[in-house]
A and B are shown apart, each in its own frame.
Chain A
Amino acid sequence: MKYHVRTFFTLLLVVVIAFGAACSSSGTPAAGGNEDAKAGTTGQKEGDDAQTAADAKSGNGEKVEVVYWHMWTSDWKKLIDSLVEEFNSTHPNIHVKALSITGDANAKFLTAQAGGDPPDVMTQWNQVIPSWAEKGAIMSLEQYIKTDAPDLRSWMYPIVADIGTYKGEMYAVPFSMNTFMLFYNKDVFKEVGLDPEQPPTTTQELDAIQDKLWKIDDRGFIQRVGFMPGWLWQWSTAFGGQWADKDGNPTATNENNLKTLEWFQSYAKKYDPKKIAAFNKSMSSNVNAAWPFLSGKQVFAVDGMWRLIDLKNYAPNLNYGIVPLPYPEGSGKPNASWVNGNYNIIPAKAKHPKEAWEFIKWLTGYGNEAWAAKMLPKGGWIPPSPKITEQPDYQAFMDEIPVRRKFVELMGSENVQITPVIPVQQYYWDRAGSAEEAVMNGKKTPKQALEDLQKEVEKEIAKSSKK
């Protein structure tokens, strides 16, 4: 009996080991496949790959594999793959393996991190930086910056460095940025007798022309939308709103935040809030050709520089203009915008942080400005550094569609803002969206909504810091 039990467990162990080996070895063939694909394009011989694999196994460090997670698919993925390809061909000691992580990359990253097997580098939107930094999931880049890029901070636009910085240390370096402006339809301006070259610069001017722009048929259906406020954290920048103080305490009830939301509400009261919501919905979900602005059904839209390509492709005959967000006369902030970017982070448990740093430094364009100036136009992106903007290639890109310059110039504005760099950022962001919806649907007054938001976020901070 005892003998059989032992045999059973021995066999079980064998199965477990076989199972485990099958799991862990699944990485190797995949890597090999990738190498093959690469060999196909760069014309390397198979022997080299075998050599590489052998090196990686024996760990003599001749070629280090850096696993890179990003969030792009389809055409964007191809672009990223080509960037990685360029890096690999110029850095013989490092092989970056790019993986497109679709779906909820955050959840996948967290579980990989918890399991001790995170990627070496990952591109994410900046919202995750403070919470991941606070939890120790990503590493501070200061040690590398000190020795390798001491002037990195001054090299960047100031706002760029701010987003990546948590508690005085830089945790993330972007390779592309986004700013936002107000697009308006010049054809409609002409049609209703407004001067297309005199777009509204203040919210008062914007409000005053609405009656001319909206078109509602006799059955109450909206045929054309004038201006529709939405996206609280974008517009609060023009009102001089603040969502957190210097110490990271939430300031949702800030009077300028309230003014922004009251301004939103004034539109919800004037027009059917449900239809406003409907249009907001369309705005957020409609990519490329489906953007309502293109059809002329929407006279104004707040959006980023990449939309210029959509306009060129899908509505070449539409006459449009672009202005910075209108601001309230007197108290408002001109040239305001909410800014975000694609940031690269290195997980705390990354196996090859040094090589990962090498990769993200290269990608951001530090010491590599001429290349970055050629790369960024491919994605319609804004550079993280004025040193890249200065490059002739990027200048030529801006001259191609002159309004591009306006988006890029916003990066230097003192009124651009970022999402508060506090650990509960994601929660704050979600709940602010809910507060806005509650006001637009007439369920709460702006004051009530912001007070509730403040309470929720304070509670969440207490919950997160409890240990």
Chain B
Amino acid sequence: MASSPEAAAGSSVQPVHKVSSPGVSKITRRNIIKGLLFISPWLIGFLAFTLLPFALSFYYSFTTYDVVSSPVWAGFDNFVQLVHDPLFWKSLTNTLYYTFFSVPLGIVFGVAMALMLNMKMKGMTVYRTIFYLPSIVPVVASSILWLWLFDPQFGVINAILEFLGIVGPGWLVDPNWSKPALVIMSLWGVGGAMIIYLAGLQDIPQEMYESAEIDGAVWRHKIFYITLPMLSPVIFFNLIMGLIGSFQYFTQAYIITQGGPDDSTLFYSLYLYNNAFSYFHMGYASAMAWILFAIIMAATLLVFKSSARWVYYGGER
């Protein structure tokens, strides 16, 4: 296409054009090769450390594999066993419980905090830093910290409740309260999402608020008719990320509760991990991983489908 003006310029140019035509594609090809070479570390890393394990785990999910000896084909055995494994269901229920509470609460808290930190006030940068800080504390460190805060006898949280005249629960040592405790803990680290909301908030044109004010809108109108709809793509993004993250919830439970008490914090990933590395059932664990993948995929698709109803892009649904 680009060569057609040249071709029209005259016959004397044509031989040049004929020679240069393969030259152009030669350059292009060379560029492609160079480009590929430049990204080859990533490419190799992706192939060796992501795609290959991905494919292997799919294969392992149909085998009995104890890591030490070679895998033996087992067909759908692992999946059939999973259906009959009460701990599989328990871990799945625990994970759904956690997701059901932590993701929506995380969004509410994140947005609320971002709204507050978006106000014009002296020293706001300091506040923003303070609220963001928890999300840069390493999970292990914060987990140990929360272990102390939640201590039923000597912990700060129950001390405050006691001051208010409430007898605090056992938190992490009580099977009925261990999951709520972990949800509360997750809210503390909402700063990461909050920063994204904050960026989203600052993108909302001020004129919209101004014209709404002229129309007589008060703060709640502004929030529900301007802020939230305008923020919906950001909320949508955080919802998806939150879903994926909470379905794979692992570290905190691994460090703090190790699944206890009474299996109340035996989350899906934790049980998967135990099967793979403590009980020598890599095949079984791989099958679990693929089921989790399917669940996350389905949940994400569902959210994507629903997004047409509530996510606004550039003021339109």
Chain A residues at the B interface, C-beta cutoff of 8 Å: 1, 4, 7-8, 11-12, 15-16, 19, 104, 106-107, 110-111, 113-114, 131-132, 135-137, 219-222, 274-275, 277-282, 285, 348, 424, 426-427, 430, 433-434, 437-438, 441, 443, 460, 463-464, 466-467
Contact = CB atoms under 8 A, between A and B. Distances in A.
Nearest to A5: B33
Q: Which 3 pairs of residues, A with B, have the shortest CB-CB distance? A: A274-B170, A107-B277, A277-B173
Given A274-B174, A278-B173, A220 B167 contact: yes
A275 B152 contact: yes
Interface stretch (B66-74, B193-201, B219-227, B235-243): B66-74
Given A434-B259, A437-B260, 19 more contacts: A11-B33, A12-B40, A106-B277, A106-B278, A114-B67, A114-B68, A136-B68, A274-B169, A275-B152, A275-B170, A278-B153, A279-B153, A281-B172, A282-B153, A426-B279, A430-B278, A437-B263, A441-B174, A441-B261
B271 to A, nearest CB: 10
Interface string B21-47: 000000001100100110011001000
Contacts of B36: 8
Interface residues of B, number: 40
Contacts of A15: 37, 40-41, 44
B262 A434 contact: yes
16 contacts: A4-B30, A11-B33, A11-B37, A15-B40, A107-B276, A135-B68, A274-B169, A274-B170, A430-B278, A437-B261, A437-B262, A441-B261, A443-B262, A460-B279, A464-B66, A466-B64
B127 to A, nearest CB: 34
A114 B81 CA distance: 25
Contacts of B276: 107
B67 A16 contact: no
A4 B33 contact: yes
B274 A430 contact: yes
B280 interface: yes
Contacts of A282: 151, 153
Indicate the member of B36, B152, B261 with the most A CB atoms within 10 Å. B261
A424 B77 CA distance: 20
Indicate the member of B37, B169, B174, B279 with the most A CB atoms within 10 Å. B279
A113 B69 CA distance: 10
A427 B276 CA distance: 12
A19 B278 contact: no
A463 B262 CA distance: 23
A12 B66 CA distance: 34
Contact of B66 (A135, A222, A274, A438): A135
B40 to A, nearest CB: 5
Nearest to A462: B81
B72 A104 contact: no
Given A12-B40, A15-B40, A441 B72 contact: no
A281 B33 contact: no
Contact of A274 (B44, B173, B259): B173
Contact of B277 (A110, A220, A441, A460): A110
B69 A135 contact: yes
B169 A113 contact: no
Contacts of A278: 151-153, 170, 173
B64 A137 contact: no
A101 B33 CA distance: 41
A280 B173 contact: yes
Interface in B257-283: 259-263, 274, 276-281
Contact of A434 (B64, B169, B263, B277): B263
B180 interface: no
Given A8-B33, A281-B172, A441-B261, A464 B40 contact: no
B228 interface: no
A427 B278 contact: yes
Interface in B147-184: 147, 151-153, 167, 169-170, 172-175
A157 B279 CA distance: 30
Given A275-B152, A275-B170, A278-B152, A467 B72 contact: yes
B73 to A, nearest CB: 11
A110 B68 contact: yes
Given A4-B29, A278-B151, A430-B274, A19 B262 contact: no
B4 to A, nearest CB: 25
Contacts of B69: 135-136
A289 B267 CA distance: 32
A393 to B, nearest CB: 38
A221 B72 CA distance: 56
Nearest to A8: B33
Contacts of A467: 64, 72
Given A15-B41, A131-B280, A424-B279, A277 B174 contact: yes
